[in-house]
Structure formats: structure tokens, C-alpha cells
Structure 1
Amino acid sequence: MPNNTPIILIDGSSYLYRAFFACPPLTNAKGEPTGAIFGVINMIRSLINQYNPTHIAVVFDAKGGSFRNEIYSEYKATREAMPENLRPQIEPIHTILKAMGLPLLCIEGVEADDVIGTLARQAERENLDVLISTGDKDMAQLVSDKITLINTMNNSVLDPKGVMDKFGVPPEKIIDYLALRGDSSDNIPGVPGVGEKTAQSLLTEFTSVKDIYTRLDDIEKLSIRGAKSLKQKLIDNQNEAELSYLLATIKTDVKLDFTNEQLLITDIDVNKLVELFAYYGFHRWQKELIAGTFLKQQKNGIVGESLSLLADQQHSTTAQKKETDYQCILTHEQLDDWVIKLTNSKQFAFDTETDNVDHVHAKLVGISLSVEPYQAAYIPLAHQYLGVPDQLPLTEVLAKLKPVLENPEVKKIAQNAKFDYSILANYGIKVNGIAFDTMLESYVLNSTERHDMDSMANRYLNHKTITYDELTKVDKKKVTIDAIEVEKTTQYAAEDADITLQLHEKLWPELEKDQKLTKLFTDIEMPLAIVLAEMERTGVLVDAKQLNDYSIELTKQLMEIEAQLQSLAGEKFNPASPKQIQAILFDKHNLPVLKKTPKGDPSTSEEVLSELANEYELPRMILFYRGLAKLKNTYTDKLPLMISPIDHRIHTNYNQIGTITGRLSSNDPNLQNIPVRNEEGRRIRQAFIAPKGCKIISADYSQIELRIMAHLSQDESLLNAFAHDKDIHRVTAGEILGKAESEVTNEERRRAKAVNFGLIYGMSAFGLSKQINIPRKEAQFYIDRYFERYPGVQQYMEQTRQLAAEQGYVETLSGRRLYLPKIRSTNGIEKRGAERAAINAPMQGTAADIIKTAMIKMSEWIKNQSTDNIKMVMQVHDELVFEIKDAFVEQYCTEIKKIMENCYQLSVPLKVDVGIGNNWDEAH
């Protein structure tokens, strides 16, 4: 055993609790807790990578008590029971550690401390260095010139001097120190009235507890506080002191059937680790295992060899054909060969490389193509660096590729097809036949996963791709891809096309196993990608002057509010600073602290301020200030900068995979978050305008989620209300209060509306009481009466909870699966959250499927009209926004309403409200 690396002894039981409470409550795809597993393995792995040991032991407490419980039945009795979510993580931790080749020890009748103490002293006698990793202060008694402690939570190391600095006594007196002052964590009693300082003072004058009791008369002579009464305390509690000494002493003579030589790190079980990391969702570790970077190369070579084996095994299934053939096309002959190859193929994968990610204005740098796995080509078109080889003329290349790209008979495969479609459209190529998008295939299979190529390649193909960041980082600086050498870009870009093809061949058979998922992909998600691309390219006209004028108004308004705030506060402060708000509200004005931050400071979150605003003017004004400032910073200042100088339109990016429910999101700008219910938000919408001679048309599904609830629950009262086009909120108020609908007041209707929408989002009586400002008991009455009057809804909710728990997911009416990883969690809060999601997700997801279907149907209809007369320009929540020429407004509004209301069949009618205006606000 080499002397230059220490034996590492790890207090596994200490790690368990520290990892559990330090790490977030992670779960795997099945909802099983994994936070402690991640924390323990990560700490141990970091320790190994830091010290590169050859010998190690991870020691855990065995089941049952130790000899200390027999001596003192109250030993550790004050400790809380093991958390429910921690217990099921212990066995997986043991399994992973064993697969990592690490010796694991659990010895019955003693604690982990005793096993570690025995091993440490045994190594010390053999003149070997020992590093004990623990957070337990008891272990300080083991520290010597050969034995050191490390606390991996803060990376602090304790040698003999460190023990003296921390505890005020040397290592050899730690047992005496604990015997005197006790240890609350282990329920070691100590001597009542003797604390940290007194224990230190006593052990400065005496050599040990035993010495103290042989010289009790000397205590009164000491110049320490309470010296006169201390003697009697020690006499009265001598039994407790002696018992505490016994309990605090770590045994160093446990009979062990092995030696330190048997603590050698052994071979990693690579197959087992890959399987375990996949099961528990540790995909990054999987990737590092494959790359050989999960653990450092060991001095005995064992781990390093295992990692090499892993890489070999991961690639062995395709080793014979995996030799990649990536070509860089620089000649006309090469290009012609590939055009023929593409034309004769049934399908091929393609990818574009651009100088930026602006889908409307980005310039094409190159195109990659793949017809067979492991074979691909890259055509450089606009690389700019010095010494670039002769590139084929862009116009010539595109002219030759255009016929096959526009041929609908040859199927195309892409990763994020919407982007590639739009880029090529910038060059006059309208790609037809895009049949598959691997990003969407992955999304339809499981929306909770990551769908970028690097993650998918790792997850589905066990392949580590060249990342964009790796390619474009030159001398620690980021550059655009057109400044990268063609040779390097070829490997990156050709791999993209190749991996896209391979991913499709992996994912499509999985989708075909379920007809609903296949139909969801082919009928909704895939055609929608092109609809979105066209809508993004169209964009929406925005009046920059209106926004700039409003921004100036907001600046003045914010200054006025700031002055009012400072007057209310009685001093100057920055209303954008949480720290200063905290000082004003809670230190100066003594407002009640409703919630604290993780650091223990009073929270100034929106939720807290909203609650305080019910009673106090200052937090109400701060909230108003925050809202206006956010509006200004996010919209009035930024939207004008996003207007294209070419067509004066904003071209947002619709994210098809941005939510797990299937709803679309948008960014640059985020259209979904523009406020609609207040005057400030409406002013923003007024800047979204119709071109001259046109009108903006808003077509919005009315109460779509409630209608879906009626369909899913088949509740007779709900079905009847919607079938007769009644005011559902007034109906609900009447049902709950036992009134005729005509007698329901507006306030009662408002409360019923909160119940209708709140319950489908799982709102509790507490939440409802806060929202409509009524006592909790009254809110509970509303909820109870609701379920009495709508029993079908309650039955649907209960059945959905049960189904979700059984299969781990729920479905929309179109068969979209919405996985709920935490539905089987043993953590009550997590499980209830998953149950609420299970109830609401089918409604949100079905609403998403309906609006997407409507967009596809509308796009098909618009193609048969003149696109100069009507354009679909935005999708926000349950609303579609159009630009229509004045002469066609009435005719087209009728058709839009008809198509949207009949695009999807429910047990109740779909209703669409259509509005007309010169801007978005007027139309909505």
C-alpha cells in the first residue's frame, strides 16, 4: 500500500442525512425519491477525485441499536424517525457504491463510528495515513498525526491543531469534553450546567474527567464563572458524567474479519452502473462514465481500465459499422453525387448551420445531409475565416438542392424542423415532405424529458455529441460558426445530420407502438411545425412610436410613485431593491413577517406583498411600482428593439416543446405574458396594429377548459348548462346558493367563477378564501356545495388520481401522455401537487390539442384564399389573431368561427368569441 495516499474512511450514515436535507427533493421518472442518492454519491465521488485513493471504506450503521442502547436506553432517543423519503434511498445507495467497486461495511451491534475508529487506529499502528470523512464531532477524538478529519460539506480539514482551534481542547480530551458538556444530537446527558466554555476551562486545568473527580476540592479555586457551585453539580451528576464518557467513547477494538489491505478499490461494474444511472435519472453521470471522466484514473489502474471498458462496451454494438464517413463537399462532382443520392432515396436527414439563431434573418453558413446512419456530408457555403478552402457558390448549391428539397415524395427528417424550414425559406426554398422531426418525436413520447440533440443522443444512442459550445469556443472566446475551420465544422455538422437520422430510426418504432401517439405526431405536432414557421415568418405589425411614447409616460409615472413611496416610508429608498424594501417594511414599519427566505430574512416576494397589501398601503404601492417597472423593462423598452427594420414587424419564436402539457409558449418576445386585464397591459396590446386597409381579428375559445371538464366528467348539470349556452358562472352560483339564476348577484357570480376555475387547478379552501377574500369556512362551504351539485366532477377527479397513480401518467383526448414523476412520491406535498396536475393536465393538454388542430385547419383554409387577404399572425393561450383586409372581414370572421368551433368534437359545443379592431386590444 503506497504511503503517499491516505486510506479514506467515509461515515456513510452521516452522509445520508446531510445529503437528504442539503439536496433538492429529486425524483426519477417513476416518482421515486433520488435526492439523497445523488447527494451521497456525488460527495463520495468528489472525495475520490480529489484524493485519488487506492483504499477506501464506506461505513454505515447496521439495522438495530448498538451496545450503547443497552447501556442507556435513552441514547439517541431524541432523534426524529428517519424521513419517509430517505428510507427507500438507502438500498440504492448501497447498490451503486458496490457497483463503483467501493468496499461497504455494516457491522451489527456497533455504530459506524466504532468501525471507522477501529480501522483508523489499525492503520495508524501500521504507520499509514488516514482521512475520515464525516460531519460528526465525536470523531475528533480519533485525530492524530496520522489521522485527519474532512467535512465534505465545507471542505474543512481537522488535524490536531484544527481540533484545538475548534473545540478548545486537544483530540485526546474530546471524550472528556463531551462527557462534561453532553451531546444533544445523541442525547448524551453530560453534566447539567456545564457548557462549552466551562468544559474547556475545566480541561485546561485538569487532564481528564477522572482527574477532575479526584481533585474536586481544587475546583473552587479556579477563576471560572460559577466555580463555587460547580463542584456540587459535578458531585450530584457523577454517574451522568461517567455514563456520558462511556457513550461518547468510540470503540477502537471492534472484531473485524478483514484488514486494511481488503479495503482496496475494485473493478467498476460498468454495465450495472449504466443501468442504475439510467433508472435513477442521472444522465450526466452516464455521459461521464462513457467519456471516462466519472472517476479519475486510479494509481492501480483499475477504475481507469473499467472506464475504458465502458466506452468500448457502449460502442461495441455498432463497432463494426460505426466507423463514420463524414464528407466535406467542395467540388461539383461531389455535390452532383449527393444530389443523385438524395433524389433516389426514400428519406434523408438534413440540418442547416447559420450565423445566429434568428430564424427570420439568420444567414446560411452550411447544410448537412445524411441518407444512411454513420454516413453524412457537409456543404460549407459561407465560412469567413482566412485560409478557407474554395467553397461552392451558395446560389449554385441551393439551385441544385432545391428540386429534391421541394419534392414532397422524398421524406425529410430534421431536428427542430421549424427552424430549418424557415432558414431555407429565406433563400426561396419551400421544403416539402418534412415528415419527421426528432425533437417532436421525443416530445410526444415523453414531454418531461429534454429534447435537444445532445441530450437525446446521450439518452437514446449512448452517444456523446460534439456540442455547439465546444465547436465555437476558440481561445476561451465565443465565435460564430462561420469563423470556424471547415474541417472542424464538417465533423460537427455532419454528425448533426447523422444523429438526427439515427434518432429517428430509434424513436419512430417506439411511437408506432401506440396508435394514439402516432396520430398525435402525424396529425397535430408535425404539420403544426410548418404552420408555426409560416406564422413566425409573417410576424405582427407593431407601432414603435406608441410603445416609445408609453415608455416615456411610464418613466414619469414610476418617478411619481417612487416619490409617494418615499413619503409613505418616511425616507428615501430604492423600490427595486428587496434588501431596502425589507428594511423599510419590517425593520422600520414593523409589518408582520409572513414568510422568510432560505437565509432566514423576511421575504419580500410578490405573494407576501400581495397579502400585506390587503391591509397596508406601502406594500400595495410597491407592488404597483414593480408591475409598471416590469411592463416598461419587458415590453415598452424592449419591443421596439425587436421590430424588424425590413418589414416593421415582430417575429416571435413559438416553442412547440416548451411545456409538458402541450401548450405553446413563445419567446423574443413572450406574447403569452402581456397582461390583458389591466389598463397598462391593454396599452401594450394597442401597439399591435393592423396594416392600412386591414383589421385585426381575435378569435378566442370561450371557457374551453370548463367545457373539456364537462366532457371528461360527463356531469349532467355541466353538460346541460353548456348545451343550452348558459352563463356557467351564474349557473354555478345558483347551484351552490340554491338560487334562481336571475337572482344571482354579480359578486356571487364572481365567487362562483373563482370556484369553477379554481377547482380544475386543484385550489384548496384556503386558496379560495384568499382569492375571493372570504373566511376559510365559507370557502369550504362553496367547495362542498359545488361537489354536491356536480357529483360527476368529483368522481372524475377521484378516478383520475387513481389512474395517474397506477400508470404514472394521464392522457388528453388526443392520447397525449402527460407523465407525473412525483405521483407515487412518499412526500405528501409532492404527491398532492402531482395529483392536482393529474386532474388539470388532461384539460390543459386537450385545450392545447384543440387550439393546435384549429391552427392546422385554419392554415389549410387560408391556403385556399389569397394570402394577401388574410394572415394568421399570433397564437396566445386560447386565442388566434388574424390580419384581414377590410373587404373580407365579415365573410372571413364567419368562416373562422365555423372552422374553430367544429375542428374538434366534444360532448358540449365549442364556442369562439370573435372580435374586430384596428389593434389587438380593440379586437380582444
Structure 2
Amino acid sequence: MSDTPTLLLVDGSSYLYRAYHAMPDLRAVPGDPKSHPTGAIRGMVNMLRALGHEHAPAYAACVFDAPGPTFRDDIYPDYKANRSPMPEDLRAQIEPIHEVVRLLGWPVLCVPGVEADDVIATLATRAAAQGLRVLISSGDKDLSQLVNERITIMDTMNGKRRDVAGVTAEFGVPPGLMVDFQTLVGDAVDNVPGVAKVGPKTAARWLAQYGSLDALMAHADEIKGVAGENLRAALDWLPTGRRLVSMRTDCDLSAALPGLPALDSIAAGAEQTMGLRDFYEKFGFKTLARQLQDEAPSTAAEQRIDEQASHAAAQAQVREVDYEVVLSWQALDAWIARLMAAPLVALDTETTSLDEQQARIVGISVSVEPGAAAYVPLAHAGLEAPEQLPLDEVLARLRPWLESPAHAKLGQHVKYDRHVLANHGIDVQGYAHDTMLQSYVLEVTRPHNLTSLAERHTGRTGLSYEDLCGKGAKQIPFAQVPVDKAAAYACEDSDQTLDVHRVLWPRLESDEKLRAIYELEIATSEVLFRMERNGVLIDADKLAAQSHALGLRITELEQQAYELAGQPFNLGSPKQLGEIFFDKLGMPVVKKTATGARSTDEEVLEKLAEDYPLPARLLEHRSLSKLKSTYTDKLATLINPRTGRVHTHYAQAVAVTGRLASNEPNLQNIPVRTAEGRRIREAFIAPPGRVIASCDYSQIELRIMAHISGDAALLKAFHDGVDVHRATAAEVFGVAVDEVTSEQRRYAKVINFGLIYGMSSYGLAKNLGIDNQAAKNYIDRYFERYPGVRRYMDETVQLAHRQGYVQTVFGRRLYLPEINGGSGPRKKAAERAAINAPMQGTAADLIKKAMIAVQQRLDAEKPDVLMVLQVHDELVFELPAGEVDWLRREIPALMAGVADLAVPLIAEVGVGANWEEAH
């Protein structure tokens, strides 16, 4: 079909999002955040120019979603209900994108009532029927159902091409069965349910066996196990699901394209040079404007922006690189000399494992300047592996540079590499920068992995780990990757890290507050490395005893549940629970699932447990089962055989508020509100002669609220040292402080903390078990007594709407992408987050400052005192029994002195033989 005319259809709605997320934050006036955003515009321009030049189609169209509901919303009101609203910076670029696409010679189509996919499907099938070759440029897998001998999909962002063979290989079914496949699997992005717990492999296997969805549904009673139950439960839904995922090929496009079925109205046009020049000048694309006049870019800054923008066209940045594989002592010594002379070196390790405590080095890569990098293979195996330098001797030669604080180093997630090198006895010093943390501080809501950073900020794409090692069960260890390929990948990682740093660091360097937050994160990373290295001692025997006791109670609850139900049943089966609850015992239906089934989720159980004993037993059963599986059974299995301790991992670049996240195991979410949960902390112990100490901030978020709101009454309560909950109760209930009852104090505590989290009168009423009017009266009275708090809340929400983010006391930016995303629950949630985030974020900053100050003091005076855990506002220590008095005296004062707020900070200490005793 080489001479066959081509219709090139671009999924504009898909690509404008991808261009927006791939591009840096470009502005019409560089450096002015208030000027018009242009990143997505620039990405679309480059993408369409590249596509047009490469394919030179006879016919073309760029198709966008029209605003407003579509026919799918009529079929299913919850269609796309969980999608985030369009970011305001992107929304502002839509009209200019449409304008420039037309100026580039591309017809633009937006058809009300149908989605861009349906317009593309209609045009593609009509053009193919007329004998044209159709190329669809899109990353949307849904369009795969259109593929045939004349219709091909290409995803230029990653080079993927979906023809008939490509679709079959990727999904396990041919294009003709993609609608059936998608119906079974569902679409989480569009909130279209499929068959519960049925993934792509099961769906493909069923369709291969039965030939179609209709045939499968006709034989649903043959499918065994839970999958069969879920299939039968979804039978009524599946025809609706199929309508939702099916692309329409019969859309009425007559208003948009009056000449159909002839395609002349979408013939590819020529660029409108004069209009483009004016457009480029208006939006600050000076390089593109000069290119229209055959002039080259004149400044380095414009050239760099051009290189960054090229990725949106999915054209990987090509440049000369000098990557070397180091296999001789002479080559290694030459590179060590370069390392010692370089002002900053990007360092990366290739390893045997993602477990930072267990990983061993396979190779090391370094980059000293853009395009110049080396890989030292140290543990590659296989018949074709070359002779490599001995690992221990290489590390010995590198040790003076690695352990020198005077030689600055750069990494991507440096804490991991520090652990890996520490596993080999190397204590790396001199880490000055971490590109993951740079991204976290500058753009907290975006991905921080190196692939995303390189694409977004330098326009570079490269090899992925899966490219080298494969996926799933067929994945090979990195040590088995041929050295030449491993070197290309590893050198590219170091080289890209250096490139990304050169883009991000100037942005941090030029903003005093953000630079201070970044420096805080760098210092925190060092402390976290030390804490993770220390680990915490676990009493495995105590955990085993707790597991046994929990198992007995769980079995007892099962028997009680059977008796209350009048029959044995599967406590984890929603279907059986529904039959027993609603059919047999006549309980009221509280709510239904998306597929129309009667829900028995936790919220429903909690509601029913108010009146029925069976749901209460099930809630306790679920709680204890989770406690057993997550902690008492699992913790002992995570003990490191080398150290005899559990070493949690603290994820630093996750929470938008700056809080740390603990995982493998998660030690921050142990449910301490129950006796069983608190008992787990008894298993966290100290060795003989040592004790556990806990030091945590008292009412930290309320103190921060007093500071940032400046409310006179709240400030006075903290300065006077009174019980703030008792003081609030006195204000709200109009009684003297010494007359406040315990019940009134409890109410005040719920109000104090609830309002911080944006609790409504409905939420307060539910929490306290009172009616809505009474709850509203309490809140009204609270704000009458604390007007500064109300003023802070109102002004903060207004500020968040204006600038899209709020800040902590120390300048950390907490972005709220949904604050201006239209009406509805997401906007309300973003407004609540705007109120709470400065408090949570400031608390996160404070505990990080405390960790750094404490570690510095321990290093200087008490190296035998170990900081072993951080849990929200609490630091946990393991120390010699003889150092308890020192810790009680010094650490609280140190934690209280890390910031000068309008109210005093107070840290309290507890000591015991285990973590629970220390509370």
C-alpha cells in the first residue's frame, strides 16, 4: 500500500495531557510564573511538526474532546467520576493549542456529545472502507479495537506500534476481541467496572476458550472458583460495560465535516507562516519564530528550551556521547583522576536487589560532564562476560574518593546507593545533591523517577530496566545482562542524572525558601540512612505468642459469626454476606456497588454494627486478621539475618505534605487505638543493658494552628500552659476551666482536631453521636471564641484558589491541583487540604529539623545513643540505661528549640524496656 493515500489522525486530547506532563513549566515570559503557561503548547507544536514531516499525509485531523457530557454519561452517570479535573495551567492552553494546530495546517475537530475516540473511530473506519491507509497517533489502548489491515496505531511517545500482530501480542487477543476483552477487564481510568478481580490474563484465557464475550456469558456457570462467582455476579452489568468501552463508528460528523463521506474537508494543509510567526512571538517561542525566517537560535537558553520541547514531539534527543566500559587498571586509574578533579560527579550503582539492606554491587557508573560517563562492571556472569576487575580491589581504589566529603557527588535517590555501598563497607561522604529530592521540592505532585525527570526536563529517553532484563517470570538478573548493554544503560543513568541536575538546581538556587527546603531534605536523607542502618530489635517469640492469641480470638469470632448467621459461611465473600445480611436476616441495604450489588464494605458494616451483632463480629474479625497478617505474622519474617534487626525503609519523596512514609515494614500505621495494636509495640525491644525511649511533640498541629492563625485566645492558652482542650471546652460550653467535665473535654478535643482536618458539622455530629444542629452550634460557638482560626481558614482557601498552592511556615510548597478544578467533592476536599496542609507540612518540617539537630548532637556527644524510628511527631531511641537522664534533659530541649514559633514547642519523653512501655 506504499502509494495508497494516508489519513493521519492525532488523538489531541491524549497528547495535550502527555505534552503537559512531559514538558517543564514553560512560560510566555521566561522566569515569570504569572505569565501564560506554554509547555503543553510547545509540546504539541513540536509533535505535530515532527509527525507531519515524517508521514506527509494526504489527509489529517487533530481530534479533541469537546466540553460537556457525552452519550456515555447518559448510560452510566458515574462514567469518569474518579478523574481529576484538568489542571488550570493546562486548561489555559487549550484554546491556543487549537489555534496553533490550525495554523500548522491541521484540521481541528471537536464534536459535542461524543469523545475524541469516537470521532477518530468514525473517521478511521470510513477512510479504511474507502481504501485509505489510516494511521492513528495515540497512547490510548482503547483504540486498539479499531486495528485491522488498513488501520494502525502508533504511540510516538514510546515508539510502540499496534498493528494486528502488535495488538495480539500485547493483549493476548486479536483486535476483533478487544471490546470483549476491555469489557471483562474494565477501565479504572474511566471508572468502568469489569468483572471483579479479573485481569488481562484471565480475560484473554476465557476469550481464547469460548471465542467471545457472549459465548462466555452463556457458559458462565462452567467457570469455577471465585472468578466464576465474580463473573456470574457481573452478568447483568456486562452489556452496559460493553456499550461504554465500545468505540462508536457511526458518529454524525456532518456539522464538523459537511463533505463526508468525501474526505476533502480534512485534506492536510500548508503552514500559515505569517499567523504562526505572530503566534510564536506572542507566546515567547522566539526560536520557532526565527526558524520561520531561516534564522538559527541565538541564545543558549533558547536552544535548551528547544531541546526540552523536542520530547513532546516524541523525538528522542540525539547527541554524541562518550561512554566507556572500564576493564583495566589503567582505565580505572584514569577515571579516578577525572573523579578527583571534577567539581561534581553523578554516581549510580547497579545491583542484585531492590532491597537496599541486601543488595550487592554488580557495577558502578559515573558521569563527570554531559555525555561523558563510564561503567565499571564488577560482577557480570555468563559465557560472554569479559574478564572484570575484582570488586574488592576496585572499591579499595575508589574508597578515598567515595569517602571524601570534599569531593561533591550527585545521585538519583542517593539513600539507596549509600546503603548499597555501605553493604560493602564503604561510608560514602560528600553527597551534595539528589535529583529525586530536587524534583520532590519543586514539583511534588509529579513523578520523581529518573525516566520521568529526564523526559520532562531534558527531552531525553533511553533504555529501561525491562528493555535489558525482561519482565515477570522471564526477567533475568542484571548480572546476566551483556556488559555492553549494561554499560549503555548504566552510563545513561549517570549522564541523565547530571543533565537533570543542571536543569533543576538553578531553579532551587534562585529561590531562597525552596533552596532551604531542599537542603532540609538532603540533610534528612542522611539521618534516615543512619536510622535505617540502625534498625530496631524485635522479640520474635513475643510476636509468635501474640499471633497465637490472635488466631484463637479470630477462630472464636468465626464461630460466633456462624451462630449469629445460623450457618457456616465464607466471612470474606461479599456475595454470601449479602445473602445472609439482607435475604436471611433482613438487615437494611445501606448502599450499592457500581454494578448494583448490595454493598457489604467496611462503611456498611460499621453502620449495621450499630444495631446488629453479626456485622460487629465481622468488623472485629477483619481488624484482628489484618493485625495478624500484617504485623504479628510478618514482622519476624522481615528480620535481617545479618543484623538480627528489622530495618524499615523511609520513603522521602511521596507525601505532598512532606511527611515520611515507612514501608517493608510500615511501622507508622500500627493501630495503637486498640489494646491488641498497642501490644505489638511490646515486641520492639532493646538489647540487655539498654532501653527504649520515645520523645514526641505535644499537640504539635494545634500549636502550629495557633502560630499561623495568630488567634489571640489560642495563643494565650498555649502561653499560659493550660490544657488546650479544656480551655476550648470552657470557651465552647461557657463554663470556667476548672468546671469542664471529661465529656466536655472530649467534645472539645474532637472539635479542635476535627476543624484542623476540615470536619463539617455532619462529620462532627457523626463523630460525637449528636444531631447536626447541635454540632453546627458547637462549631459556630468555636469560631466566635476563636475568630483568628476562622480568618485563617477563609484566607488560606482564597490564597490556594489564587496561586494553586499553600506553604508551610518554612516555605515548602504544597500544591493542590484540584483546587480550581470545578465544583464537586474533589474541590471541597482540596479546600480542606488547603487548610490542613500547612499544619501537616509544618509539622513534617519540624520533625525533620529535630531529627537533624538530634543526630548532630548524638554524633558529637553520645554516639552510643541510636535513633531507630520516626513515627509522625515521635522519635524513638535505643540507648544505654545509664544515658536516660541525659536524654530526658537534652533531647526535649533540643526538639523544642529547632524553631521559634509564636507558641512554645513541647516534647515529652517516655522510657521503658520496649516501645509500648516508653509511652
* TM-score relative to the length of structure 1: 0.72
Q: 2:266 aligns with which of 263, 278, 302?
A: 263
* 2:621 paired residue number: 625
Q: Provide the C-alpha distance between the structure 2 equivalents of 1:111 and 1:639, rounded to a whole number of angstroms.
A: 52
Answering whether residue 373 of structure 2 is matched by residue 376 of structure 1, we say: yes
**CA gap 1:910/1:127 in 2 versus in 1, 3 angstroms:** closer
Judging changes above 3 Å, is the alpha-carbon distance between structure 1 residues 374 and 914 closer, same or farther for their aligned structure 2 residues? same
Q: What's the secondary structure of 1:916's corresponding residue? A: strand
**Contact 2:438–2:505 (CA<8 Å) still a contact in 1?**
yes
Q: Distance in 2 between matches of 1:532 and 1:63?
A: 47
Counterpart among 854, 861, 875 of residue 858 in structure 1: 854
Counterpart for residue 499 of structure 1: 496
Aligned to 1:232: none
Which one of 507, 514, 519 corresponds to residue 517 of structure 1?
A: 514
AA paired with 1:898?
A
Deviation per residue, 1:623-667 (Å, 9 max, x gap) = 111000101111111111100122210001001112010000011
- Confirm or deny that 1:346 pairs with 2:343: yes
Judge conservation of contact 1:656–1:664 (CA < 8 Å) in 2.
yes
Give yes or no for contact 1:3–1:128 (8 Å, CA) kept in 2: no
8 Å Cα contact 1:9/1:130 also seen in 2: no
Aligned to 1:921: 916
Aligned twin of 2:869: 874
RMSD value, Cα:
4.8
**1:676-687 superposed matches below 5 A:** 676-687=672-683
Compute the displacement of 1:606 (Å): 1.7
CA contact (8 A) 2:365 2:376 kept: yes
Corresponding residue of 1:103: 107
Structure 1 residue 658 corresponds to structure 2 residue 646: no
Aligned CA distance change for structure 1 residues 56 and 432 (closer, same or farther; 3 Å): closer
Q: 1:478 to 1:719 in 2, by over 3 A?
A: same
SS at match of 1:922: coil
Q: Map 1:317-716 to 2 at 5 A.
A: 322-473=319-470, 477-522=474-519, 524-716=520-712
Report how far residue 112 of structure 1 moved.
13
Of 405-414 and 581-590, more deviation after overlay is shown by 581-590
Q: Once the 2 structures are TM-superposed, how far is the Cα of residue 813 of structure 1 from its aligned partner?
A: 1.0
Which residue number corresponds to residue 790 of structure 1?
Answer: 786
Q: Contact (CA 8 Å) 1:7, 1:128: kept in 2 or not?
A: no
Q: Distance in 2 between matches of 1:526 and 1:707?
A: 26
Looking at structure 2, the residues matched to 860 and 62 of structure 1 have their Cα atoms a distance apart, in angstroms, of 58
Say whether residues 1:761 and 2:757 are aligned partners: yes
Deviation at 1:824, TM superposition (A): 1.1
Deviation at 1:251, TM superposition (A): 8.5
Mapped partners of 2:66, 2:492: distance in 1:
51
> What displacement does 1:390 show?
1.1
Alignment of 1:181-330 (within 5 A): 256=259, 259-264=262-267, 322-330=319-327
Q: Secondary structure at the match of 1:346?
A: coil
Cα 1:85/1:703, change in 2 over 3 Å: closer
Task: Describe the superposition over 1:710-746 as per-residue Cα deviations: whole angstroms up to 9, x where unpaired.
Answer: 0000101111111111111111111001011222111
How far 1:600 moved relative to its partner? 1.8
Instruction: Quote the residue 1:905 is aligned against.
Output: 900
Q: Is the 8 A contact 1:722 1:908 kept in 2?
A: yes
CA distance in 1, matches of 2:442, 2:336: 33
1:667/1:112 Cα in 2 relative to 1: closer, same or farther (>3 Å)?
closer
Give yes or no for contact 1:3–1:129 (8 Å, CA) kept in 2: no
- Separation (CA, whole Å) in 2 of partners of 1:699 and 1:311: 49
Aligned partner of 1:845 among 836, 841, 848: 841
CA distance in 1, matches of 2:315, 2:258: 46
Between 423-432 and 679-688, the greater mean CA deviation after superposition: 423-432
Matches of 2:670 and 2:265, distance apart in 1: 65
Q: Deviations over 1:108-154 (max 9, x none)?
A: 9x9999xx9xx99xx99x977999x9xxxxxxxxxxxxxx9xxxxx9
- Separation in 2 of the partners of 1:643 and 1:105? 60
Q: CA deviation at 1:827?
A: 2.3
Partner residue of 2:727? 731
What is the alpha-carbon distance in structure 1 between the residues aligned to residue 448 and residue 254 of structure 2? 53
C-alpha deviation, 1:466, in angstroms: 1.6
Cα shift at 1:552: 1.5
**Secondary structure class of the residue paired with 1:730:** helix
Aligned to 1:822: 818
- Name 2:235's counterpart in structure 1: none
AA of the residue aligned to 1:417: V
**Cα separation, 1, equivalents of 2:668 and 2:475:** 31
Query: Cα–Cα, structure 1 residues 877 and 312, in superposed 2: closer, same or farther, change >3 Å?
Result: closer
Matched ranges for 1:882-901 at <5 A = 882-901=877-896
Distance in 2 separating the partners of 1:350 and 1:130: 48
More displaced, 383-392 or 409-418?
Answer: 383-392
The 5 Å alignment of 1:736-751 reads 736-751=732-747
Which has the higher Rg, Structure 1 or Structure 2?
1
Cα distance 1:430–1:157, how it changes in 2: closer, same or farther (>3 A)? closer
- Where structure 1 has 5 or more consecutive residues not aligned to the other structure, the ranges are 20-27, 38-47, 65-75, 134-147, 149-153, 159-247, 280-308
Question: How many percent identity over aligned positions?
Answer: 47
The amino acid of 1:462's aligned partner reads: G
Paired with 2:339 and 2:254, the residues of 1 have a C-alpha distance of 75
Q: CA deviation at 1:484?
A: 1.3
Q: 1:811 aligns to what?
A: 807
**1:373-413: per-residue Cα shift (whole Å, max 9, x none)?**
11100111111223321111111111111111111111111
Helix, strand or coil: the match of 1:923? coil
Partner Cα distance (2:514, 2:256) in 1: 63
Deviation at 1:102, TM superposition (A): 5.5
Q: 1:391 to 1:768 in 2, by over 3 A?
A: same
User: Residues of 2 paired with 1:684 and 1:862: CA distance?
Assistant: 28
C-alpha contact (below 8 Å) 1:652/1:668 kept by paired residues: yes
Contact 1:694–1:885 (Cα < 8 Å) also in 2: yes
Instruction: Note if contact 1:569-1:584 (Cα within 8 Å) is conserved in structure 2.
Output: yes
Residue type of the partner of 1:719? L
SS at match of 2:856: helix
Secondary structure of the corresponding residue to residue 459 of structure 1 = helix
Q: Quick one: which amino acid aligns to residue 660 of structure 1?
A: V
Per-residue CA distance 1:205-248 (angstroms, 9 max, x = gap) = xxxxxxxxxxxxxxxxxxxxxxxxxxxxxxxxxxxxxxxxxxx9
Report the Cα offset of residue 917 of structure 1. Answer: 0.7
CA-to-aligned-CA distance 1:54-85 (integer Å, 9 cap, x gap):
65668999999xxxxxxxxxxx9xx9xx9997
CA contact (8 A) 2:701 2:839 kept: yes
1:848 and 1:259, CA in 2 relative to 1: closer, same or farther beyond 3 A?
same
Identify if the C-alpha distance between structure 1 residues 702 and 254 changes in structure 2 by more than 3 Å, giving closer, same or farther.
closer
Superposed CA deviations along residues 448-474 of structure 1, whole A, max 9, x for unmatched, are 111111111111111113222222118
| Contact 1:349–1:414, Cα closer than 8 Å, also in 2 | yes
Q: How many residue pairs were aligned?
A: 740
SS at 2:600's partner residue? coil
Counterparts of 1:555 and 1:591, CA distance in 2? 29
SS of the aligned residue for 2:446 comes to coil
Measured after TM superposition, the shift of residue 313 of structure 1 is: 7.7
Aligned residues of 2:254 and 2:260 also touching (Cα < 8 A): no
- Equivalent residues of 1:384, 1:483 under 8 A apart: yes
